[in-house]
């Protein structure tokens, strides 16, 4: 069974101060688009780089998640450290993901330039940072998701199929 990790990074959600809607929004989008059966390994973490790094390593190395998406912690605030944690655990960074997500968000809000989302590869795991608002999670994931199944193919990760009526994945012909 394919495993996908979802991490919501939020001091308040991890402390139970408010409901975890961003992480649940990410899971809902993935379940809507991906037709390959998968299990979700789900965590809510505080904005703490050491804790985030540890969980990213656990999901990639111990659990074997092919894809890990994070929500939240990507802004300029002092406690927003998700990109730093991602960069610390990845062997290869994929800056095009962040560039495309910011460009997609600029269609909706001028503050998209404040976002620091990134993506990278750890072994056979693709890690993608998403913003922390459900609407922005869908918009950003829609921008980059067409490349995710092929990226997983290239790094030796699991093969993902999508419901092409709602999300068409790109794979080169031949």
Query: Does the residue 168 lie in any domain?
Result: no
The predicted model scores a pTM of 0.97
User: Which residue did the predictor score with more confidence, 173 or 149?
Assistant: 149
174 pLDDT exceeds 80?
no
Q: What percent of the chain has pLDDT over 90?
A: 97
Identify each DSSP E strand in 38-93 by its residue range: 38-45, 67-71, 92-93
Query: Does the residue 12 lie in any domain?
Result: yes
Query: Does the residue 130 lie in any domain?
Result: yes
Q: Please, which pLDDT band fits residue 144 given cuts at 50, 70 and 90?
A: very high
Q: Residue 26 sits in which domain range?
A: 2-155
- The maximal CA–CA distance of the chain, rounded, in angstroms, is 51
Query: Does the residue 151 lie in any domain?
Result: yes
- The tally of domains found in the chain comes to 1
Q: Please, which pLDDT band fits residue 155 given cuts at 50, 70 and 90?
A: very high
Q: What is the mean pLDDT of residues 101-122?
A: 96
User: CATH code at 103?
Assistant: 3.40.980.10
Number of other CB atoms surrounding residue 101 within 10 Å: 27
How many Å apart are CA 47 and CA 37, to the nearest integer? 31
- Position 37 scores a pLDDT of 98
Query: Does the residue 160 lie in any domain?
Result: no
């Amino acid at each position: 069974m394919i495993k996908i990790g979802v991490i919501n990074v939020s001091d308040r959600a991890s402390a139970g101060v408010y409901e975890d809607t961003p992480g649940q929004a990410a899971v809902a989008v993935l379940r809507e688009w991906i037709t390959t059966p998968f299990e979700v390994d789900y965590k809510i973490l505080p904005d703490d780089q050491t804790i985030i790094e540890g969980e990213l390593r656990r999901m990639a190395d111990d659990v074997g998640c092919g894809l890990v998406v994070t929500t939240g912690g990507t802004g300029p605030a002092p406690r927003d450290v998700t990109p730093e944690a991602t960069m610390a655990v990845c062997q290869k960074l994929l800056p095009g993901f962040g560039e495309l997500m910011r460009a997609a968000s600029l269609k909706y809000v001028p503050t998209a330039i404040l976002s620091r989302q990134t993506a990278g590869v750890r072994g056979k795991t693709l890690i993608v940072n998403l913003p922390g608002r459900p609407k922005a999670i869908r918009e950003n994931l829609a921008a980059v998701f067409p490349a995710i199944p092929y990226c997983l193919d290239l790094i030796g990760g699991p093969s993902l199929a999508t419901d092409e009526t709602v999300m068409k994945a790109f794979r080169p012909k031949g």
